[in-house]
Amino acid sequence: MCGRTACTLAPDELKRACSYRNRRGQRRQPRWRDGDADNYRPSYNKNPQSMSPVLLSRRHFDKDAPVDKCVLASMRWGLVPSWFKESDPSKMQYSTSNCRSENILQKKSYKDPMLKGQRCVILADGFYEWQKVEKGKQPFFIYFPQTQPGPSQEERKNSDSESGGEAAGEWTGWRLLTMAGVFDCWTPPGGGEPLYSYSVITVNASPNLQSIHDRMPAILDGEEEVRQWLDFGEVKSLEALKLLQSKNILTFHPVSSFVNNTRNNSPECLQPVDLNSKKEPKSTASSKMMASWLSSSSPSKRKEFHTSESKEEQESKPQNQRKSAGGLQQWLQGTNKKPRTK
């Protein structure tokens, strides 16, 4: 299953992090759907009912757009079917945050969007999962192995994104987790603003994750799988379902039970812990990449996110939530570093 994620990139970073190639092999950078960049809030601890970033075909919003042109949107986690009759989504009697791949064509809530081509990619730094242990549950943070070095200051300085939403260079920062999902659009019966929402599709856990949990999100590995999942014009529903496989490609590390409380939203949620000593564990290749990337720069928008709370809200938090948490906090709070431009 997937019940909690982290997505900490600023809106402009997300655009660069999920640049893509269209059918002609041209690299493009997706634009945000109008107003959705303002609805997205970076977070170390996202839970169902919150707004999260997704990537999808622009054709869903503009019938004249090429089907292989992508757009970023902010959607509610927890699919609300278009046929839902109540006036309040919270009145739904069942959870739709996850959708089992085995049942996707059996349950109307998911079958209708799937057959209509309403496929999306949920973006995240990674997701959390809880392992049952003798004294409760141990949380883990699970993500793509990070092997590329972060962009140097010179690379960031010389980055030259083209106009019109196109991207000239490859993203060299944190590799976002790309999870397969389906979405729907619900309009309140009495009228009002349409609500776009999604469900994360899950599959059986890969061998290296089975000791943590028996389910995992359906991971789309690489640009080509993402392209096929989103291109509902070229790749029909039954063909797209073949992409939903258990893939033994993710890495993970244990984190503190601090993340258990959804109100906790700070770098401490991601900080690796040693299960024996509760101190920082020995670095792995991926955790070194995480530390390097997170301490390499602090875009102004990420700083704005951190300081957007009122002084009263910050002072009301426990002291341990305001303390530094190593490289993650340095990445968040760096005040003398230039915004990433790549």
DSSP summary character for residue 190:
T
Q: How far is 14 from 16, CA to CA, in rounded Å?
A: 5
Q: How far is 11 from 65, CA to CA, in rounded Å?
A: 22
Q: Could you tell me the sign of the dihedral formed by the alpha carbons of 309, 3, 114, 70, in that order?
A: positive
Instruction: Give the DSSP per-residue string, 110-167.
Output: HHHHHHTT-EEEEEESEEEEEEEETTEEEEEEEE----SPPPPHHHHHH--PPSTT--
315 to 43, 254, 302: CA distances (angstroms): 19, 29, 20
Q: Are 69 and 57 in contact (CB under 8 A)?
A: yes
Nearest to 53 by CA among 38, 33, 73, 23: 73
Find the catalytic residue in 13, 99, 129, 225: 129
DSSP summary character for residue 1:
-
Burial (Cβ within 10 Å: 0-12, 13-18, ≥19) of residue 107: middle
Structural tokens at position 11: 């809106």
Known catalytic residue at 2: yes
Nearest to 52 by CA among 155, 183, 156: 183
Q: How far is 168 from 225, CA to CA, in rounded Å?
A: 21
Residues marked active site are found at: 2, 129
